[in-house]
Every structure is written in C-alpha cells, then in structure tokens.
Amino acid sequence: MLEEIESIKVSAIKELQACSDSRRLAELKSKYLGRKGQLTRMFRAIADMPAEQRPIVGKAAGEAKKAILEKIKEVSSDLETREAGRTPAFFDVTLPGRKLPLGRKHPLTLVTEEIIYIFHGMGFSLVDGPEVETEYYNFDALNTPADHPSRDIQDTFYLENGQLLRTHTSPVQIRVMEKQRPPVRIIHAGRCYRRDTPDATHSPNFHQVEGLYVDTDVTMADLKGVLTTFARQLLGRGAKVRLRPHFFPFTEPSVEYDFSCVVCEGKGCKLCEGTGWLEIAGAGMVDPNVFEKVGYDAERYSGFAFGMGIERIAMIKYGIDDVRLFYENDLRFVEQF
C-alpha cells in the first residue's frame, strides 16, 4: 500500500512536470485528486484498514497529496506567466510592416509652390494677407470707383458687417505698400471669391497669385522680362509672352498677358482655340492714384503689378479641362499628381 502511494505520487509529479497547458493540468488534477482519482481511492481504502496500520498509511497518503497539490500550484503559476507572456508569439515578428497610405499634395498646392519658388528666384518675397477684406482695400484704394461693375452685389460676397470676401489678391498690394517703403518686391498667393455659377471654367472660390514690384525706374520692359522668365521656368525654355492692351482701374497702362500655347507651341490647336496663345491674366504699371493712396511719391517711384489665376495655370500645366475637378477631392483625380 505504501509502495502504491509512493508510485502514484511519483507518476503524478512526473506527469505534472511535463504538463504544458492548463487543460491538461485540470485533467491531471482530476486523475489523481478528483472524486475517482487514484489518490482519493487510496484514502477510501485506508478507512477499511486495520486500525494500527491506518496512521502510517494515512500519513503517507496525506504527504503524497500535499506534494501533488504543491506541484499543481507551481505548474499552474508557471503556465499562467507563460500563457500571458505568449501574446507576442501570435505575431510573426519577421513579417514586413503594414504600409500606411501616404498623402500627397493637391495639384493647386503643387502649382502654387512652384510659382512662388520661381518668383523667389527673381527676388520676390512671399507675403500674406486676409481673405476677409474691407471695401477700402478691395476697391477704393485700388482706384476702383463706387460705380464699378465688379463691386456689384452680383460679383462680390458681402458680409453682414459690411466687410466682404476679397474678389482678387490685389488688396495685398495696398497692405504691403502701407507698411513698407520702396523698393518693394513681393508675391502673394491665396483664395479669392466671386459670385460665379460653377462651370468648367468658373468657381465661386478660386486662387490667385499677386506680384508687385516698386522702385525707381521700373518699366514695362521689366514687367515683360519678369513674366517671360516666369513663363520659361514654368513651361519650358521655348515659352513666349505676349502683352495685349486692357483696362484695370489700378494699373495704367494695363495689359492682359498670354503665354504661347504649351500644346502646339503657337501653331494653333484645340487648347488655344487656334490662336497659338493662352490667356493667363492681367498686369500693368501701378496707377499713380494707387501710389497716392499709400503715400508713395508717383514722380519718384514706378512699379508694376500682375495677377494670375492658379487654377488656370494648373489646368494648362497638367492638361485639366474642368476647374471643378480641383474641388471635388476625387481620389482618382488627386492621386495623379
């Protein structure tokens, strides 16, 4: 009997030692100590033994039980730490990382940055200005009379407090000249707003770049030279610039300027409607009335200003035929740049 108890104990300890998961541990526990367990059977048998033998065998069985219980406790706490620590093993640490989709710049941002970069190279510094403007900066200071059609409620978004959303970036010219004496050589890029019905070439919200150069002896030749350098860097060395007479209240003389067509290089195609030229924007020599508003001496200083629509440039550069594509954020479109 004593031998049997000893062998149960030995085999229990051996099996527990080899046990590697908690399900097996529960099985072993019941195999030895459960209701029908091997050691439990021994305890029952002891009850039927002669009284003088009971204490000895009982003691041996009690010690065996104690040893088995201790081993169970040890194995169970081992398993716990092992199973908790096993979590990282669910990942294959040699797998390559999951790639996160990378965002990219909007085509209008790309073109804006390129334009700013080119003018920066010609000594123009970037300035900022507000999109919510007063009538003074957007119109009056730019020599735009109160009855000018562009002031019409049809064209301008007026705010309840009497301010407005700027209809062009030209008010930045005034803000800069009010703060700074010549020489002035600045560039500004930003949003503008007009009450236009959206179609392939119009959007109530669009972007412009404004440039202003004021110093002594600035001439129209400088304007053409700067625009030509810009066109060549933006579109290629063969690009040409053409100035056409125009009217703006804040420049005199005023011009519209065209770049030679990027598709047909002047021969005439669908993009340039057979003319060989692409209309880009407006420019001119700063009107003396504007200088007067900002306290510049028009006898001493002269300057030129130019503006251009960023959407227009981007459409030419990337061959885009509908301005609305810029604002829809369709990934199939914006992922192409």
Q: Which residues bind ligand PHE (CB under 6 A)?
A: 168, 170, 248, 251, 281-284, 305-307
User: Which residues lie closer than 8 Å to 252 by C-beta, 6 or more apart?
Assistant: 284, 285, 287, 288
Q: What is the 3-state secondary structure (H, E, C) of 128-195?
A: CCCCEECHHHHCHHHCCCCCCHHHCCCCCCECCCCCEECCCCCHHHHHHHHHCCCCEEEEEEEEEECC
Q: Which is nearer to ligand PHE, 71 or 168 (CB)?
A: 168
Q: Which is nearer to ligand PHE, 64 or 174 (CB)?
A: 174
Q: Which is nearer to ligand PHE, 8 or 255 (CB)?
A: 255
Distance of closest approach, residue 97 Cβ to ligand PHE, in angstroms: 49
**CA atoms within 13 Å, Cβ hemisphere of 206:** 28
Q: What's the closest the beta carbon of residue 266 comes to ligand PHE, in angstroms?
A: 24
Residues of 64-95 as b/e, b for ≥16 C-beta within 10 angstroms?
bbeebeebbeebeeebeeeeeeeeeeeeeeee
- In the complex with ligand PHE, which residue's Cβ is closer, 158 or 270? 158
Least distance to ligand PHE, CB of residue 248, Å? 4
E-only strand ranges, the chain: 125-126, 132-133, 164-165, 184-193, 205-215, 241-248, 251-260, 277-286, 302-309
Between residues 37 and 211, which has the closer beta carbon with respect to ligand PHE? 211
Task: Kindly tell me which of 41 and 195 has the beta carbon lying closer to ligand PHE.
Answer: 195
Nearest distance, CB of residue 304 and ligand PHE, angstroms: 8
Exposed/middle/buried for residue 267 (C-beta within 10 Å: 0-12, 13-18, 19+)? exposed
Report the nearest approach of ligand PHE to the CB of residue 208 (Å): 6
Peptide linkage before 183 cis (omega within 30 of 0): yes
Rg (CA), the chain: 43
Q: How far is the CB of 96 from ligand PHE (least distance, A)?
A: 51
Instruction: Say which DSSP state 264 is in.
Output: T
CB of 132 to ligand PHE, least distance (A): 17
Q: How far is the CB of 305 from ligand PHE (least distance, A)?
A: 4
Helix axes 220-235, 107-121, angle to 10 degrees: 130
101 cis-preceded (ω within 30 degrees of 0): no
Q: Which residue's beta carbon is nearest to the bound ligand PHE?
A: 307
User: In whole angstroms, how far apart are CA 329 and each of 18, 66, 106?
Assistant: 62, 73, 9
Q: For ligand PHE, which is the closer residue by CB, 170 or 302? A: 170
Residue 170 or 203 having the CB closest to ligand PHE: 170
